[in-house]
A and B are shown apart, each in its own frame.
Chain A
Amino acid sequence: MIRVQLPAQLRTLARAPDEVTLPVQREATQRSVLDALEACYPMLRGTIRDHISQQRRPFLRVFACGKDLSQEPPDAPLPDSVASGAEPLLIVGSVAGG
């Protein structure tokens, strides 16, 4: 199981807890985790990555293990500690006012 923490607005939208745990059957990558997340919470489709391009939305970042993974390719393996569930994957709204 992979642990994911979402921004407050998306937790409210999905009626999800502070941290969600997801079964990911494939290799743990940003793409496979987001696929699993959207399968569990369909209302999140289009909110983290664009419907058509599947690109991460520009004001969102992806952190794990104290590192910024936002620019990593979507199919790059996530750190072992995220894949094992020891550490969460953090989806974070950029600090951009508002």
Chain B
Amino acid sequence: MSAVRVLVGTRKGAFVLTSDAVRDRWEIAGPHFSGWEIFHLKGSPADSDRLYASQYSAWFGQLIQRSNDGGRTWAAVGNSFQYDGAPGMHEWYDGTPHPWEFKRVWHLEPSLSDPDTIYAGVEDAALFRSTDGGQTWEEFSGLRGHGTGPRWQPGAGGMCLHTILLDPHQPDRMFVAISAAGVFRTDDAGRTWRPVNHGLKSQYIPDPNAEVGHCVHRIATHRSGRGALFMQKHWDVMRSDDAGLSWHEISGNLPTDFGFAIEVHAHEPDTVYVVPITSDAEHFPPEGRLRVYRSRAGGYEWEPLTEGLPQRHCYVNVPREAMAVDALDACGVYFGTSGGQVYVSANGGDSWALIVRDLPAVLSVEVQTLP
């Protein structure tokens, strides 16, 4: 019988939640790395026992942990992230030049085919890769160096590369998203990059239609790589049907188009989930009602999903990395909150249940579907 393993990163450690395919009884293991911020954990699609974790502390800096046994034991691997060449300057909050400085790893994306190859999205924004299981890291400097880097600026959370999408059909194609710069695409395995932000409009930058400078919170696509791209921007939910060359808004009937997380159903490329958040200053659901919104029409019409979710006095946030789906026949949807809750829906969002209620603030949620 299949099973699922949910990997949860929090402000004070990592937790591994496991269940059989029914997904109504859960075992909770952790905290691993107690007291450390775990920005992200993710398992290798090529070896479900191979996991990677980004472990950070303001006191002790960045560590990368690797597990070869599904999260039971861990070992620290390489943590030296050196920019290729002179780091250069980007734009600071006030528009002045500011030097690139490595701070932390936001996102780890294991290769689709090789457990020892993994990509890391870091702050200040850059993309690194390891091909030796995380022991050593090398930058894809063509991303920072393609020309628009001096115009990138930090969002409220820092200038982070937070999303990495690998294309299962075109191994040389990859998308990354950076706050606040936008989406970038490579078609030659990371050697060269170009911004793909046409159609984005952001009122908080001098030219709302600029090539870069957009605070993209998250992008997602169907795991087949055949579907549309979806984006939750600082404001606006967007869609692209041409691999990012152009975007159009699909916020439609959402109660607010601000938010962080966005995810796509495992079997339906046009079924999309978002969690609307009141505003950039009010990081909680409108009216204190926690609602996931689902579109089964590619974002052109949205429905609120509320069964099992608190509909009174709920003032949590759902971070950008904290929503994921499993690949079981009845697609499971998962999300974590700043209040330490992790919710599951075993029926594509129709109803929800708490897996765990009182973890530290959740930073990331990833799911592995196990044989």
Main secondary structure of the interface of A (DSSP, over half): loop
Interface string of A19-46 (1 = CB under 8 A from B): 0000000000000000000000001011
CB pair B80–A46 under 8 Å, yes or no, is: yes
**List of 7 A-B pairs having minimum Cβ-Cβ separation, nearest first:** A43-B76, A47-B60, A59-B59, A51-B80, A93-B59, A46-B79, A46-B61
Given A46-B79, A51-B79, A52-B82, residue A9 in contact with residue B63 (CB < 8 A): no
Closest chain B residue, CB of each to CB of A48? B60
Q: Which of A44-65 contact B (CB under 8 A)?
A: 45-48, 50-52, 57, 59-60
Closest beta carbon of chain A to B293's beta carbon, Å: 35
Q: What is the interface residue range for chain A against chain B? A: 20 to 34
Q: Which residues of A contact B80 (CB under 8 A)?
A: 45-46, 51-52
6 further A-B pairs in the complex, CB-CB below 8 A; given A9-B35, A46-B80: A10-B60, A13-B76, A43-B63, A47-B60, A52-B80, A94-B59
Given A7, A43, A51, A98, which contacts B82 in the complex, CB threshold below 8 Å?
A51
Interface string of B25-45 (1 = CB under 8 A from A): 000000000111000000000
B: number of interface residues (CB 8 Å): 15
Closest beta carbon of chain B to A4's beta carbon, Å: 15
Q: Which residues of B contact A47 (CB under 8 A)?
A: 60-61, 63
Given A12, A43, A50, A60, which contacts B59 in the complex, CB threshold below 8 Å?
A60
CB pair B63–A98 under 8 Å, yes or no, is: no
Given B36, B58, B75, which contacts A96 in the complex, CB threshold below 8 Å?
B58
Interface string of B46-84 (1 = CB under 8 A from A): 000000000001111111000000000001100110100
Closest chain A residue, CB of each to CB of B80? A51
Instruction: Give the complex CA separation of A52 and B63 in angstroms.
Output: 15
Q: Which of B77-100 contact A (CB under 8 A)?
A: 79-80, 82
CB pair A98–B79 under 8 Å, yes or no, is: no
Instruction: Give the complex CA separation of A13 and B74 in angstroms.
Output: 10
CB pair A98–B58 under 8 Å, yes or no, is: yes
